[in-house]
Structure 1
Amino acid sequence: MSDRWQEMSVFVRVAETGSLSRAGRELMLSQPSVSRIVGALEARLGTTLLLRTTRSISLTEAGSLYLERARYLLAEVEEAEQAARGVDSLQGVIRLALPVLYGSRAVVPALSTFLARHPDLRVEITMSDARQNLVMDGVDVAIRIGVGPLADSTFGARRLAVVERLVVAAPAYLAARGTPANPAELAQHDCIVQHGLFGRESWRFTHNRTTTSVDVPAWLWINSASGILAAAVAGLGVALATRVMAGEELRDGRLTQLLKSYRLDPAEVYAIYPAGPRPSAKVRSIVDHLGAALTPG
């Protein structure tokens, strides 16, 4: 049974990463060993699961079916082992993918009490504002802000928080260019816009139950929230931010909130788990913790 367990585990990581060598590195096996294990699995099943070329690896129809069931069985075994150890004995590795600024200011500080309760659990974190291939990167939980419908319906998701969005600018910029009194006046200002997430050229405001969309002149595009914040603090223009991300700069006066009587649509914070809607015990545990810790703001 242990050989079958290893075969299944190795096959799943090869299928998810699309690479024998990468799966081997993650599982601490040599590439020839990974190839041998997958070959033994295919021989035992009497069918080809993976199509291999010098440049890529892809699943056959049989491989896709086996992958679906193998993931389920591996999760069930992990669940059984966790139940036997008890809820306070999480073990192994959990891989998180976080956006840079929100991850640094909200998620990472929230992990301290969780890790103190589970000293045998190791957390590996990658931070990026670019969209990742969560399956190929072996991510257990990704935190995303402002996401709409999931691109892959096989992923599981849970909304953790709703965060307020603000219009901000540096005092030096406002001293030079003036302070907009209403959203329409943003057309006379330099606006900083973020690719993806919640930054867009059309900003929607609600005031006295009336909603209007304003096309802003986006003269500076930046692909990360931390870059947006740095540009705004440097006086390069008007930007959108969440109160969580810009709280420090607002408190110490490096940024000023504009248009306070106008409300922007809030951004939603989601936990996404590529393994599907039935996450493992350790994934459920950390998502539950973050759901309680990440208060709106």
Structure 2
Amino acid sequence: MNDRFQELRLFVRAGESGSFSAAAREMGLSQPSVSRIVSGLEARLGVRLLLRTTRKIVPTEAGHAYLKKAKQLLLDLEEADEAARGGGSLKGTLRVAVSETLCIRTILPNLRDFLDGHPQLKLEFLTADVMHDLVAEGVDMAIRFGPLPDSAFGVKKLATLRRLLMASPSYVEQHGAPKTPAELAHHDCIFGPTGVPTLPWEFTKGAEKIAVKIDPRYSFTSAEALIACAREGLGIARASVLMCKTELETGQLIALLPRFALAPVEIHAVFPAGRIPSQKVRSFTEFLAGVLADLK
């Protein structure tokens, strides 16, 4: 029976990722071994499940149907295991796609409390300020900032975080602090880590709404680089309280335009399409929501 479940796991990962090599890496096997096992599954069923091309593998019509059933069966098995344990300690590996900044500044300092209750749980973080392909990379969940594109993915809102404008004391001493959002046009602004630089920065003051189009001098795809740029006195940055909490508390950065509120940013947990979040995912999601609640 264990061989049958390994067979299903390998087929599911190969079918989702479009690669025998990716499935082999994740399962600790060689690529020829995975190909042989999936071919054996097809021979046993008497039907072609995956079409092999020089670039990738693609499920056939029968393969799509079998993939859906196989994924649900594996999920049911995992849920049965968790139910038998009575909702106690979690086991296995949880694969999370998350920005480097969120991982380093917020998750890791609080992770010990979560892991102490689940000594047999392993965590694998994909840390980068990019949008990961959840299905292809076998990710259990991703943490994403800002508006989400329409998709079939499952989503749970974790928090709404304040955004702040900030600069180093040395920058303010040299260039002065803007007194209104419009004065940002005369300052060196720092943009990142996602989005389009020409989009306006939106402020509110009471009932008044103000949109300022920013022409940034510096742009970064990394949130850590953005904060470092502001810390070095090179300009004014916009960031969530999550990104700059330490620098504000230590005085390395100071908040600007306190009477003008920036549009906040939402943070969500995103789950692969068609997949019911496992107990591991649900527990880690609850843990993150609790941690982020302290940053509001």
2:218 maps to 1:223: no
Counterpart contact for 1:164–1:266, Cα < 8 Å: yes
Moved more, 189-198 or 238-247: 189-198
Moved more, 273-282 or 237-246: 273-282
Give the distance between the partners of 2:196 and 2:269, measured in 1 at CA.
16
Alpha-carbon distance, 1:85 to partner: 1.5
Partner of 1:84: 84
2:291 to 285, 290, 293: 293
2:125 maps to 1:139: no
Alpha-carbon distance, 1:198 to partner: 8.9
Q: Which sections of structure 2, spanning at least 5 residues, go unmatched? A: none
Query: Secondary structure of the residue that 1:218 maps to in structure 2?
Result: coil
Give the distance between the partners of 1:294 and 1:122, measured in 2 at CA.
22
- Cα shift readout 1:135-188 (whole Å, capped 9, x = no counterpart): 2222112111113234x31x2111111111001111111122121101011111
Alpha-carbon distance, 1:32 to partner: 2.0
Alpha-carbon distance, 1:214 to partner: 0.5
**Where has structure 1 moved over 6 Å in runs of 4 or more?**
none
Partner of 2:206: 208
Counterpart contact for 1:71–1:275, Cα < 8 Å: no
- The residue type paired with residue 194 of structure 2 is G
Q: CA RMSD in A?
A: 1.7
Counterpart contact for 1:201–1:215, Cα < 8 Å: yes
Partner of 2:97: 97
Alpha-carbon distance, 1:2 to partner: 3.3
Alpha-carbon distance, 1:195 to partner: 4.5
Partner of 2:27: 27
Name the count of aligned residue pairs: 295
- The residue type paired with residue 135 of structure 1 is V
Counterpart contact for 2:159–2:292, Cα < 8 Å: yes
Counterpart contact for 1:194–1:200, Cα < 8 Å: no
TM-score, normalization by structure 1: 0.94
Identity level (%): 46
Alpha-carbon distance, 1:275 to partner: 5.4
Counterpart contact for 1:193–1:200, Cα < 8 Å: no
C-alpha change, 1:200 and 1:100, in structure 2 (3 Å) is farther
- The residue type paired with residue 8 of structure 2 is M
Alpha-carbon distance, 1:128 to partner: 0.5
- The residue type paired with residue 175 of structure 1 is E
Query: Secondary structure of the residue that 1:279 maps to in structure 2?
Result: coil
- The residue type paired with residue 283 of structure 1 is V
Counterpart contact for 2:197–2:215, Cα < 8 Å: no
Alpha-carbon distance, 1:199 to partner: 6.8
2:18 maps to 1:18: yes
Give the distance between the partners of 1:86 and 1:199, measured in 2 at CA.
50
C-alpha change, 1:105 and 1:75, in structure 2 (3 Å) is same
- Cα shift readout 1:232-270 (whole Å, capped 9, x = no counterpart): 111111110111211111122111101101111111111
Query: Secondary structure of the residue that 1:205 maps to in structure 2?
Result: strand
Moved more, 138-147 or 195-204: 195-204
Where do residues 11-160 of structure 1 align in structure 2 (5 Å cutoff)? 11-150=11-150, 152-153=151-152, 155-160=153-158
Query: Secondary structure of the residue that 2:217 maps to in structure 1?
Result: strand
Give the distance between the partners of 2:12 and 2:89, measured in 1 at CA.
25
Moved more, 206-215 or 40-49: 40-49
C-alpha change, 1:198 and 1:208, in structure 2 (3 Å) is farther
